[in-house]
Amino acid sequence: MGIICPFFLGYQKGAVNIIVCLKQILDPEIPVRDFHVDGEKKEAVRGSANLVTNIFCENALETALQLREKLGEKSGCRITALTFGAEAAEDTLRKALAMKADAATLVINDGHPHPDPLAVAQTLAAAIRKIGEFDLVMLGRESGDWGVAQTGGLLAEELGASCVSFVDHIEASDDGPDAGLIVKRQTDNGWEKLTAKPPLVVTITNNEFNVPRIPKTRDIMMSARQPITKWTLEEIGVNAAEIRTGGNYYEVVDLTIPVKEVTCEFVSGDTLEQKIEKFAERIIEITRAL
């Protein structure tokens, strides 16, 4: 039924349909000494590292949850968590459900482990069209692994939607549903506020208010039993072969760990005061030479 209902009809009824795209990545917090790359495959070696949800994606989900809370129970606002990843990415969706997303969809990636950003955007766009209706698509501004920072922009183009980046807050306009949403985003030296009409894609950055909530134990347990929609690439109507191979947008030709040669000089002295004096002298020495 949702498929035949145009998005704006849904919107005017006050029901905002939100899709939050999430990405599962190698835990970016692993120490440098445990980090290795596979020069042949041109990707990081997983080793003992955990798989986690990219933090900006969780900021995006948190921002969506807060918007739903502000709109209220009766608004009918619905949040669908969507990911394109390996079977293991189901964990990311379980966590999203535990945080109280309404539904979850996994598009299974059985091809290249790091598809190029256009392949990702085409896949997400096809999945979103299959989900049916949306007003707002929310993504993290970039991922903690490849940090490509293009999925949002490319997805907006694939969907023919407008796009705002580096958003950290969204609210419904006081001027009624026709006025759309009020979006606040960070800029190089401050912020901007925008009015935005759906369909809209936003990329989310972090601030002090969208730190992802910790799901309740009860909700974690419940999320294990909730259904997750799983689609293959064939089922969403993309050129599956092309997406599996990837690399017709760009190709990673080399991946290396840079060698750093810096030795820290710990300032010495018998007393704290002497050490600090040395420290101050070094600072003055450097700043005078600038």
Partner 1 sequence: MSDIIICLFSGSGYDRVAQGVVGAGRRMANQLNGRLHAVIVGAHDAELNIRVASVADAVVTADQRDLAQYQPELHLNAITQICREIRPSAVLFGNDTYSQESAPRLAHRLGGAAAGDCLDLITHDGAIRVKRSVYGGKAIATIELKRRPAVVWLRARAFDPVATASASVTTVRQTRLNLQADDRTRIIERKSEAAGQARLEDARVIVSGGRGLGGPEPFDDLQELAAMLGGQTAASRAACDSGWCPPSWQVGQTGKKVAPGLYIAVAIRGASQHMAGISDAKSIAAINIDADAPIFKNCRFGIVEDYRKVIPLLKEKLAALHK
Within residues 54-73, the interface with partner 1 by CB under 8 A covers 56
Q: Is 286 in the site for partner 1 (CB under 8 A)?
A: yes
Closer of 148 and 228 to partner 1 (Cβ):
148
Rounded Cα distance between 166 and 18, Å, is 17
Q: Please spell the DSSP secondary structure of 143-186, one letter per residue.
A: -SSS----HHHHHHHHHT-EEEEEEEEEEE-TT-GGG-EEEEEE
Binding map of partner 1 across residues 198-227, x = CB under 8 A, - = no contact: --x----xxxx--x----------------
Using CB under 8 A as the binding rule, the residues of this chain from 149 to 178 that contact partner 1 are: 149-150, 152-154, 156-158, 162-166, 168
Q: Is 240 in the site for partner 1 (CB under 8 A)?
A: no
Question: Which residue is it, tokens 């495959």?
Answer: 41
Q: Is 83 in the site for partner 1 (CB under 8 A)?
A: no
From the list 81-89, 94-102, 180-188, 227-235, the region that binds partner 1 by CB under 8 A is 180-188
Q: Is 129 in the site for partner 1 (CB under 8 A)?
A: no
In contact, 172 and 181? CB cutoff 8 Å: yes
The alpha carbon of 162 is separated from its chain's Cα centroid by a whole number of angstroms, namely: 18
Burial 57-92 (b: 16+ CB within 10 A, else e): bbbbbbbbbbbbeebeeebebbbbbbbbbeeebbbb
Closer of 221 and 250 to partner 1 (Cβ):
250
Q: How far is the CB of 151 from partner 1 (least distance, A)?
A: 8
Q: Is 186 in the site for partner 1 (CB under 8 A)?
A: yes
Rounded Cα distance between 202 and 205, Å, is 10
Q: Is 194 in the site for partner 1 (CB under 8 A)?
A: yes
Closer of 32 and 88 to partner 1 (Cβ):
32
- DSSP secondary structure code for residue 284 in this structure: H
Q: Is 118 in the site for partner 1 (CB under 8 A)?
A: yes
Using CB under 8 A as the binding rule, the residues of this chain from 15 to 34 that contact partner 1 are: 26, 28-29, 31-32
Using CB under 8 A as the binding rule, the residues of this chain from 92 to 111 that contact partner 1 are: none
Sort strands 37-38 and 43-44 into parallel, antiparallel or unpaired: antiparallel
From the list 11-19, 75-83, 126-134, 260-268, the region that binds partner 1 by CB under 8 A is 260-268
Q: How far is the CB of 182 from partner 1 (least distance, A)?
A: 8
Q: Is 287 in the site for partner 1 (CB under 8 A)?
A: yes
Q: Is 252 in the site for partner 1 (CB under 8 A)?
A: yes
Rounded Cα distance between 122 and 238, Å, is 7
Preceding peptide of 199 cis, ω within 30°: yes
Q: Is 35 in the site for partner 1 (CB under 8 A)?
A: yes
Q: Is 136 exposed, middle or buried (0-12, 13-18, 19+ CB in 10 A)?
A: buried
Closer of 7 and 231 to partner 1 (Cβ):
7
Sort strands 229-231 and 103-108 into parallel, antiparallel or unpaired: parallel
